[in-house]
Amino acid sequence: MKFSEILEKLGDAAAVNSLSIKKEYDPEITALAAVDEATSGTLSYIEGTKFSAMVSKTNASALILPPDETLQAQAQERDIAWIATLEPRLLFAKVLKLFYQPWRPAPDIHSTAVIHPTAKIGNEVYIGPHVVIHQGVEIGNGVCIHPNVVIYPDTKIGDRTTLHANCTIHERTLIGTDCEIHSGAVIGAEGFGFVPTATGWLKMEQSGYTVLEDGVVIGCNSAVDRPAVGETRIGRYTVIDNLVQIGHGCQIGAGCALAGQSGMAGGVKIGNRVILAGQVGIANQVKIGDGAIASAKAGIHSDVPPREIVSGTPALPHKQYLKVSAVLSRLPDIYQSLKQLQRQIGQK
């Protein structure tokens, strides 16, 4: 695809570009690549000044750049075609869609699929080998269900949702439109509800619902648990990485991002646009406000205000955590100084 064709498909997003200066240089773009791995015929991107030195080193034929005239001039000198935008990574993601679309099978129902006669199946649906769909299930239009998926009774799957191979959807689960559930994920399984008694643990039946709103993505081998009563809810366009645990009765807002191995106990309430980095742990019933961020391995035991950034275990406001970390690294020296002072005092 010619660079000019890419610009045409991007429309207004590509308004500032090198062809307005040097129309004769219109390279053929055959692939996309990381800037340090790019070769002739590939397009890459530079995100901010941290990577600006790569403009003089990369072998890419085209770059997506920030609106920096110096970087643009460097690219121009090396005959690298460029597009300028405030969000290079976002534009790179849009260009990537021009070169790659995930594999999606044509609508069909495989002969080995087991579908209960009461299940309702929409139009243009793909149901792969060895899929099991129980009674009362409703499948929307354009849904794609890959091999070995099991869908328990009384479940609804919205239009254009994709269920990847070997995921399991338990009863009382409602999944919205345009969701994507990756392999090995378990949605709506029984929450960890047990009551201690004199003779052991009494199981509390989990009779609630699990709700995934529109556009939710669940990563491989993640679990979203069903509560005893009420619902566990994931807000629209929230994205959840692999190996994430969502406890029973949790409420997660819209547009959140939960990275791998993060987990939360039951009843946690998370606002909109919250980010949890890898291995963040959240204690029972904690509330996290809109726009908050938890850095990797943060252990959150108390409520977090909106737009706060927290780090460490137990989690502290990030600026305070940095001060604590600075002191922590000096503890051996401080300890030696303390011992010396004690000896001096003891000699007096």
Assigned token pair, 119: 């299940």
Residue 303 tokens read as 């409520």
Using left for φ > 0, alpha for ψ between -120 and 50, and beta otherwise, residue 200 falls in left
Rounded CA separation 88/316 (Å): 32
Residue ranges of alpha helices (H) inside 57-146 are 69-77, 88-99
| Rounded distance between C-alpha atoms, residue 245 and residue 258, angstroms | 10
248 is catalytic: yes
Contacts of 50 (CB under 8 A, 6+ apart): none
Q: Determine the Cα angle at 283 with ends 210 and 204, to 5°.
A: 50
Active-site position among 182, 248, 301, 318 = 248
Q: How far is residue 73's CA from residue 285's CA, in Å, rounded to a whole number?
A: 54
- φ, ψ of residue 272 to 5 degrees: the values are -85, 150
| Helical (H) or strand (E) element with 32 | strand 31-32
Token pair in block for residue 320: 């305070």
Nearest residue to 47 (alpha-carbon basis) of 13, 92, 96, 16: 92
| Cβ pair 268, 288 in contact under 8 A | yes
- Residue 140, CB-side half-sphere exposure with 13 Å CA sphere: 17
| Among 238, 259, 240, 252, residue whose Cα is nearest residue 167 | 240
Cα–Cα distance for residue pair 278/295, rounded to 1 Å: 8
Q: Which residues are catalytic?
A: 248
